[in-house]
Every structure is written in C-alpha cells, then in structure tokens.
Amino acid sequence: MADYKELADLIFPKVKKISYYEEKYPQRNLKEGAIVTRFAPSPTGFVHIGGLYQSLLAKKLTEQTEGVFFLRIEDTDQKREVENGIIGIVNALRDFVILPDEGMISETKEKGNYGPYKQSLRKEIYQAYAKYLIEQGKAYPCFCTPEDLDAIRAKQEAAKIRPGYYGVWAKCRNYTVEEMIEKIKNGESYIIRFKSLGREDRKIKHHDLIKGNIDFPENDQDIVIIKADGLPTYHFAHSVDDHLMRTTLVIRGDEWLSSIPLHLQLFHELGFKAPKYAHIAPIMKNDNGNKRKLSKRKDAEAAVSYYEEEGIPAEAVKEYLLNIANSNFENWRRANLNKSIDEFELQLNKMSVSRCLIRYDKIIRCRKNSYIKNDGRKSIRGSF
C-alpha cells in the first residue's frame, strides 16, 4: 500500500531534508532578551510611510536590545512585482538611516548568514518543509481547477455559508494516497494545501505585544502553501522564514492580525516555536474631520520619497514617527532638546491599539524648525 512518504517523494523528489536547513541556520548566539526582527516588504510599488514606520520601530527595538534587524524581500507574488521595487526599498532604508544588520543591500547583493533574504531564491527550502508536512499527512496535493473553486464559492454564497476550502468543501483532502499518486502520474495539475485539523467552534488565545489579549476561532481552512509555480504563499513563507531566520518578534501591519490562528497553527504543525507578534495600527490622517487610512493613490504623503521632495529632513520624519508611536516622546523631547532619537527608549506597550494619526501640519513644522547642528548633522529642535 502506498504511503505518504511515497507521495512526498513523487511530488518533491530532489529536495533536501529539513535537518539540513535546521543545522545550516542555527539558533543565534545573542544576549538574553535580544530581539531579532525584520522588515519584510513586497517589491510591489513605492515605499509607503507605514513601511518606514514599521522598520523604524523594528530597528529601534533591536538597537535597544542588541538584537538583529534584517531586510527580507517577499517577492513570491511575481505578477505584482514592479521594476526597481527592491532597490527602492533598499534606498529608502539607506536615506532614512534605518540600516539592516542583515539582508538585501542591493537588487542582487545581501549580507548575513541566514539568507537568501529574497524569497524567490528560497524555493527549495519551502519545498523541503512542504514535503515534510506531506510525509506526515499534514499537507496534500489539491487538483481542483479554478472552475471547481468557483463552483464551490457559488454554492457557499447561495447557501449563505462561510466561504473557503475547509471541512466538507475540501474535497481533495479525502482522496486516498493511491488516488493522489495516480492523478499525479496521469499528469493532472495540482497545488499543495495544508490539512487543517482546526475547528471554527473552538477558540485559541493570543497575546499581542501591542493589541493585548485576543481570542480567535481556530483556523479550519486548508490553505494553499505551495502554488502552481512552485513558490509558497505568504503564510507558509512567513512560518518557514521566520523560523529559519530565528526571528523572535514579528512587527507588522494589523491587516495580518486575523491570520494569527493560521500562523500559530502552521508554526505548531511544523514543530517550530512561534515568535512573538506586535501588530501595528495603520497610519491614518484627518481628512476634513474624518479619520481615514492614508491612501496610496490619493495621498502624496503616503510615499516616503515625498518628504525629501518637500525638503523635510529624514531625521525630522523619524522624529515625527516616534512621536506618533509613543505619546511620551513629546515630553522626552522637551526635556532632552539636544539628544539624538537613538537615546529615546521605545516601548511597544505604549503604542496605540487602534490607530496612529499622522498630523501633516506637524511634519511640515519639522521642516521649518530643522537646523544644522555644529557637526553638520541635520536635526530638529522642540518641533512638537
């Protein structure tokens, strides 16, 4: 009788064993409490001020704890990639002096021992871990065509039930291993899905370093982990990469908060220790009395390049971003007029849970108040 191992070998005949990668990327030898974190943008457009904010917080926390800040390029959605996307990200971090200790330093070059730091170069690593899941019956090939998936969606909509590929809807999870092998040998195309044992009517508890304690329903969706092009989805790449790069804290936008049940489940099923998470509220602006998210299309100030064009020094922008991150920054600045922001102690538990309001008029004032220090460094004084 065929077993999962045979299926896994048929799907991924050439990949290495995961023990190879576990040894290649050992635990980091850092002092206790050191934070390892990252900025993990997709090169799909201009660098958004929210991305800069995120990387500034990440960099500061690693400096405060003698940890490691790295830049990982998440380019697994190659259709959405833009020309010069990577270099735009690298240059923005350089211009704002938020320098990664590891990761991509140009379009093609990188530094550090935990790479490659560009996901499209890590294909075999993801496949090794997908194979490991298939061997244990925790992932399987799905042969559903786009038409099959449309038909499932239409039925769910008509019956007003929760959409997705789960439970009775996840029909490919019920094939026997022999049937799966036969379909593959017959040349049917497939992708790889995670086989969730989660149940929507059960809850998990999560503690977020910014949002606090939250209960979520378990994840029961059999999500795609390896796509038809052999590359992973964001969710799978997140768990494999942040495990192998030995990330201890994930700081990211709160649009990912709802993925927590899935991410914790993936870490658990892969046998990894999950990192801590801090989900940042979006940067909002006051638009004639209405508070709304900064829009990539409508708001010029959403792009980091805008500030330089307006003559606002990088340090003034960073100063302002710290001001919206921690409300005690303003008092600290008043009491420490000549200190560098490097000396300010950022605290995640002082971050706003629901929104970070950008006051454009205040940033503009930074420009007016900026001055050149004796040592030639641009700085600002008492701007807020």
- Cα 370 to Cα 383: distance, rounded to the nearest angstrom: 8
235 lies in the site for ligand GLU, by CB under 6 A: no
The CB-of-353 to ligand GLU minimum distance in angstroms stands at 19
Among 250, 302, 309, smallest CA distance to 70 is for 250
Identified binder of ligand GLU from the candidate list 7, 8, 18, 41, rule CB under 6 A? 41
Distance from chain centroid for Cα 198 = 23
Residues 6 or more apart whose Cβ sits within 8 Å of residue 16: 124, 128
48 lies in the site for ligand GLU, by CB under 6 A: no
74 lies in the site for ligand GLU, by CB under 6 A: yes
Number of residues that bind ligand GLU (CB under 6 A): 8
325 lies in the site for ligand GLU, by CB under 6 A: no
- Catalytic residue, from 17, 155, 171, 296: name it: 296
The CB-of-331 to ligand GLU minimum distance in angstroms stands at 31
CA dihedral 7, 11, 16, 19 (to 10 degrees): -40
118 lies in the site for ligand GLU, by CB under 6 A: no
Question: In 3-state terms, what secondary structure has residue 262?
Answer: helix
**Rounded to the nearest 10 degrees, what angle do helices 49-65 and 85-95 cross at?**
50
55 lies in the site for ligand GLU, by CB under 6 A: no
The CB-of-72 to ligand GLU minimum distance in angstroms stands at 8
Among 151, 240, 133, smallest CA distance to 197 is for 133
Return the number of the residue (180 or 283) whose C-beta is nearest ligand GLU: 283
Return the number of the residue (122 or 252) whose C-beta is nearest ligand GLU: 252
The reply to whether 160 belongs to the active site is no
User: Nearest-5° angle of CA 358, CA 359, CA 364?
Assistant: 120
The CB-of-263 to ligand GLU minimum distance in angstroms stands at 9
Identified binder of ligand GLU from the candidate list 131, 211, 238, 285, rule CB under 6 A? 238
Return the number of the residue (252 or 318) whose C-beta is nearest ligand GLU: 252
Q: What is the CA radius of gyration of the chain?
A: 23
Is residue 59 within 8 Å of 69, Cβ to Cβ? Answer: yes
Q: Could you list the active site residues?
A: 296
Interface residues with ligand GLU (CB under 6 A) are 40-42, 74, 238, 250, 252, 256
